[in-house]
Structure 1
Amino acid sequence: MPATSPYAARLAEVPVERREVEIDGSVTAYWVYGPPPAEAAATIVAVHGFRGEHHGLEPVIAFLPGVRVLSPDLPGFGETPPLPSGRHDLEAYTGWLTAFTAAVAPGAVVLGHSFGSIVASAAVAEGLRTPRLILINPIGAPALEGPKGLLTRLAILYYTLGARLPERLGTALLRHPLIVRAMSIAMAKTKDPVLRRFIHDQHDTYFSRFADRDQLHDAFVTSVSHDVRAFAPRIDVPTLLIAAQRDDITPIEAERRLATMFPHAELVEIADVGHLIHYETPAEAAAAIRRFLRLPVAPGR
């Protein structure tokens, strides 16, 4: 039985519509939340993290009433098939995001979470036009240098085995529910049992919705081979970093250094949360976004 979302009531008040758009010969599935363009206080294109899909950012969207959010499934995840080229490196993902934004919401604010922060930053640095950039749990340092670098090395071994074992066995390893649950437990910081059940249910339900093991391995290599630092100096639009003080992937000290690398950046730190800001503290993240976009305070806050 699915776990109850603590944010279900709020999200139910937000209009949502599934759409598709052809990008470079392939179909991208995306979801449009909020009012039509003429009535929206702002429009955001939101890019989810590694092994996630559009559902992961819904708790934040629930606290952004009046904002139009277009949330695609990244190529190879959720309902979007892999890229026709078969390449899932950073250049391919940034090219896809630039084309997607131009097709469905040119001039929108761009938001990226975790791996999405790398894709969004690289795209903006390479010329994707946006008035503002928002990064949640940005990858602000090499994964191998984080406080849990050993776990990253184990993850590299895990994805390598998944790619090299016989296909059926490798795919089963990558989708194994015990490993997915272990990842979820490692990332969650909340002690609230209801919220923990919801987080684990989200990962159980959506974390294995990748297209195939080769695409997943390529995306993983991309995620651990890059970080936002390489692109920050070339991003000349106002940028908001929403960082967690207990993030095991990028420590807060590295996030503070990252903020100084942008020409125009603001850092908002959230205490008592790790790499799951979008699940554990979405109200705080949304409040920071509203301030950054100079929007009125959300009703009920």
Structure 2
Amino acid sequence: MLTNPPGELFALAEARSTRADIAGTAVWTLSGNRQRVLFIHGFRGDHHGLQAVAGALADLTVVSPDLPGFGKSAELEHHDLSSYSDWLIDFYTSTGPYDLVVGHSFGTLVVTKAISNGLSAKKVCLINPITTRGSTSKSLSNRLAEIYYRIGKNKILGSWLMSSGLVTRAMSIGLTKTKRASTRRFIHAQHASYFSSYKSNRVAIEGFQAANSGSVFDYADALTGSILLIAGSQDAVAPISEQKRLNEVLPNSELLVLKKVGHLSHYERPVEIATAITNFLETH
């Protein structure tokens, strides 16, 4: 287990990563001597989003694909939860087995939807799981997001707005909770580099619609295996109250709450997340 700052962990993970594409999916593997772990990243980014966590897991083999339509992976015909679920089941079948499947944010919807459709993952870690259906939220941030992606469909303004560095920086500032200047710089640089790495506006818009319409609660009945939930106490996207309720609903789950962290726990507290993952694997 490594305990370097997030930016250093990211650089170490990049140095360890090797790429091998599988059926149109770009896949990075960080080889280790112990268990195999599959990482599924969140919306609009790519595998880089979880690299700091992967960098801390020096003893584990981490397999980290770009979701279809993001990063270096090819697009799907449709980018809804059903399509991503089918993709994950196929990917897991062809590259598994894995000792643990880890999802962050939108990745938690992809993972849990796939489990409800037959994915045989026995141990799962859900980081900042989506427990509030955005499409029913009346919050200002969600209304602004809906307007943003609606304008994104416009042939004239869409591409400019969707790739706007100002919008990306505003989002990054709004979600970042840490006061540590070096970590804030790291987070903003990550978003500037990878938040617009989708293949087309269609991918981003369909992905938003998928993320906005789902909740892990939709698949709770299928989540009977051992589950580690990791939440941020200040998460505005996935409120802590709903994380606690999810912990109560899932019979074999345990909840780790990271204090003074929001939705970007994977950037702000990668060492604590990696430690929790290691302990979870050792005790389950």
State the TM-score, normalized to the length of structure 1.
0.88
Deviation at 1:48, TM superposition (A): 0.3
Equivalent of 2:46 in 36, 41, 53: 53
In structure 2, what is the Cα distance between the partners aligned to 1:274 and 1:49? Answer: 14
Cα deviation, 1:91-149, whole Å, max 9, x if unaligned, reads 00000011011111234421100000010011112110112011001111223566x82
State how 1:1-301 maps to structure 2 within 5 Å: 5-8=7-10, 10-11=12-13, 15-22=16-23, 27-35=24-32, 39=33, 41-83=34-76, 86-143=77-134, 149-163=139-153, 165-166=154-155, 168-294=156-282
Change (3 A) 1:170 1:97: same
Deviation at 1:6, TM superposition (A): 3.9
Cα deviation, 1:164-186, whole Å, max 9, x if unaligned, reads x11x5311110000001001001
In structure 2, what is the Cα distance between the partners aligned to 1:229 and 1:188? Answer: 26
Whether the 8 Å CA contact 1:111–1:133 is kept in 2: the answer is yes
What's the RMSD between the two structures over aligned residues? Answer: 1.7
Segments of 5+ residues of structure 2 without an aligned counterpart are 1-5
Whether the 8 Å CA contact 1:111–1:135 is kept in 2: the answer is yes
Instruction: State percent identity of aligned pairs.
Output: 39
SS at match of 1:293: helix
Whether the 8 Å CA contact 1:181–1:203 is kept in 2: the answer is yes
Deviation at 1:29, TM superposition (A): 0.2
Aligned pairs, how many? 278
1:11 maps to a residue whose letter is: A
Segments of 5+ residues of structure 1 without an aligned counterpart are 296-301
Deviation at 1:234, TM superposition (A): 1.4
State the TM-score, normalized to the length of structure 2.
0.93
Change (3 A) 1:145 1:186: farther
In structure 2, what is the Cα distance between the partners aligned to 1:16 and 1:198? Answer: 19
Give the equivalent residue in structure 2 for 1:298.
none
Give the equivalent residue in structure 2 for 1:299.
none
Whether the 8 Å CA contact 1:140–1:255 is kept in 2: the answer is yes
In structure 2, what is the Cα distance between the partners aligned to 1:263 and 1:272? Answer: 27
In structure 2, what is the Cα distance between the partners aligned to 1:114 and 1:8? Answer: 19
